A and B are shown apart, each in its own frame.
Chain A
Amino acid sequence: MNQDDLEKDLNEIIAESRRLLGDVEEMDKPELVEMLNNSERPAEAVRQVAFSVFENLLREYRLRGEHPPQRYIDLVTQLRPAQNLSHNQDTLVKQAKKWVADLLAGSAGGTETSLQFAFHHRAELTDADRRILEEAEAEVSRKMKRKK
């Protein structure tokens, strides 16, 4: 293969991959999540790794005694996992607003059909608590099935 053919081949990779596997620009969030969940590293893992990488960048800024630029703070706030809540009040409010906006938009965060709970004291759940959670889970599953 000569240099011209190689360049042509490299450019074809760009165009043909889009043609065959889809244009990401026309994919909405649920579809993107679905595509990522179809791999060894699902969307949640992608988000968590990115969060760790960019949070380390913020830490480096602070260790140098500098205030990180707002764009970095916004990105880390948006990617912050639910299990890793910030201690900063403004960040918590932003995060809560984003979750509410996502819920109202109806975009699914994943393809899981069962609820997942991240309680710190799971052993302390009473029978009544468990019953409420089971009912809530059944209700959500019913709604999701009806929506499909």
Chain B
Amino acid sequence: MSVDDRFRDVDWEVVLYKLTVRARQLFLTAQAKGYRNALARACTDPDDLARSVIAEALKNDRVKYKPGKGASLSTFLCKVLERDFIDLLRKGIRLDRRLDAIEDLKPESPRELGVVYDVNDGGKSAKRLELRAIALRAAVGQKDLEDYVTAAFDCGAVTRSDAATCLEVSPSEVTNLRKKLMRHLGLTSTNDSNETGGEE
């Protein structure tokens, strides 16, 4: 089967949207968990990452998709995107450390505005932040969001229909809750940029 045949009848618009939404979810979660600096050092935004995964798949060089192996193209590319995202985060963490070392050599140089610098102890004092706690904090005072987070983490309502059943709302209302939560998580992670996060 030729490379072009492997990609025949693919709805690229849907694939692009799926990868972009997934990349934005990952960036938002990592930022909320305290990896804002590392992501900034990696110099990529979620939409770029999603496009780069599609470009790699089309090149058929590094990412090779074979239909009929079980996973659909979007499932396969989402896995690739998640792997690339972790690599990107690791790279960002390494760069962040290296920049800290440069800062130590020049203590008089002004620090970059809006960037939180970690304590230079090899990350020993950094703490892991639980997403459940962060999400509940972002949802504080809003009963519908608090219930949604509890349903997702404590009642195992992972799919949209599970969450809808658990919360006794329509599936479209679950979509609205997710959108609202994404907005609140984004705001929380921005406001928390001056606090110690989970970065190493």
Binding between chains A and B: yes
Q: State in angstroms the CA–CA spacing of A26 and B21 once bound together.
A: 12
Q: How large is the interface on B (under 10, 10 to 19, 20 to 34, 35 or more residues)?
A: 35 or more
What B residues does A43 contact at CB under 8 A?
Answer: 17
Do B10 and A74 touch (CB < 8 A)? yes
B140 interface contact, C-beta 8 A: no
Contact in complex: B135, A78 (CB < 8 Å) = no
B51 at the interface (CB under 8 A from A): yes
With A13-B29, A49-B47, A70-B4 as known contacts, state yes or no: A1 contacts B160, CB within 8 Å. Answer: no
In the bound complex, residues from chain A placing their C-beta under 8 Å from that of B14 are 29, 32
Contact of A126 with B by CB under 8 A: no
Contact of A34 with B175 in the complex, beta carbons under 8 Å: yes
A32 → chain B, closest Cβ, in Å? 4
How many A-B residue pairs have C-beta atoms within 8 angstroms? Tell me: 148
Tell me which of A1, A32, A36, A53 contacts B128 (CB under 8 A): A1
What CA separation (Å) do A47 and B82 show in the bound complex? 21
Q: Is the CB of A29 within 8 A of B17?
A: yes
Given contacts A14-B26, A36-B17, A69-B4, contact A21 B126 (CB under 8 A): no
Residues of A within 8 A of B33 (CB): 9, 13
Min CB–CB distance B154 → chain A (angstroms): 11
B67 contacts A by Cβ under 8 Å: no
- Check if A31 sits within 8 Å of B25, measured CB to CB: no
Is A35 in contact with chain B by the CB < 8 A criterion? yes
B177 to chain A, nearest CB (A): 10
Dominant secondary structure at the B interface: helix
A19 and B28 in contact (CB under 8 A), knowing A9-B198, A27-B21?
no
Docked complex: B78-110 residues within 8 A CB-CB of A = 78, 82, 85-86, 89-90, 93
Contact between chains at B4 and A79 (CB < 8 Å): no
Task: Check: A136 CB closer than 8 A to any chain B CB.
Answer: no
Q: When chains A and B are docked, how far (Å) is the Cα of A70 from the Cα of B6?
A: 11
Given contacts A31-B175, A35-B175, A75-B58, contact A18 B17 (CB under 8 A): no
Q: Is the pair B86, A1 in contact by a Cβ cutoff of 8 Å?
A: no
Number of residues of chain A lying within 8 A (CB) of chain B = 49
- Contact among A1, A16, A31, A79 with B16 in the assembled complex (CB-CB below 8 Å): A79
With the chains together, A79 CA to B58 CA distance in Å? 15
What B residues does A13 contact at CB under 8 A? 26, 29-30, 33, 35, 86, 89, 131
Query: What residues make up the interface of B, taking CB atoms closer than 8 Å to A?
Result: 3-4, 6-8, 10-14, 16-22, 24-26, 28-30, 33, 35, 47, 51, 54-55, 58, 72, 74-75, 78, 82, 85-86, 89-90, 93, 123-124, 126-128, 131-132, 135, 149, 152-153, 158-160, 174-175, 178-179, 181-183, 198, 200
Give 12 pairs: A residue, B residue, CB < 8 Å, sorted on A: A10-B90, A12-B131, A14-B86, A17-B26, A21-B178, A22-B160, A22-B174, A22-B175, A29-B13, A46-B47, A75-B54, A78-B12
